[in-house]
Amino acid sequence: MSLNISLPAELENRVRDHVASGLYGSASEVIREALRLFETYQAVQAASFSALKADIAQGVADVHAGRVSAMDMAAIKAQGRAALRSKTGSD
């Protein structure tokens, strides 16, 4: 299958630069690799989103089941600041 596409000058120059670098034999190879990487990125994003939705659903289920506890935000902040100070060595 053959497909002609139009690219803005900046992207066209970037494709040409990749071919000129010798890493790719043609503009088509650059575009194929870019598409493969984009599809991988989309798959990772979809998996991350699915995991986030599952975590949120678990949190909501925990709240509905009463598996929650009160939190002292001031104490949590103090613990975090103390941990940061111990890592950086500053007081």
pTM of the model: 0.65
What's the confidence (pLDDT) of residue 66? 95
> Within 13 Å of residue 2, how many CA atoms lie on the same side as its CB?
1
What's the confidence (pLDDT) of residue 91? 58
Compute CA distances 41 → 19, 25, 34, 49, whole Å.
23, 24, 10, 12
Name residues whose C-beta falls within 8 Å of residue 15's C-beta, 6 or more positions apart in sequence: 7, 27, 30, 31
* Band (88; pLDDT cuts 50, 70, 90): confident
What is the tens place of the pLDDT at every residue in 57-70?
999 999 999 999 99
Query: Smallest Cα–Cα separation from 31: which of 67, 65, 7?
Result: 7
- Give me the residue spans of the domains in the chain: 9-88
The answer to whether residue 75 scores a pLDDT higher than 90 is yes
Q: Looking at this protein, which amino acid is placed at residue 24?
A: Y
What is the tens place of the pLDDT at every residue in 33-55?
999 999 999 999 999 999 999 99
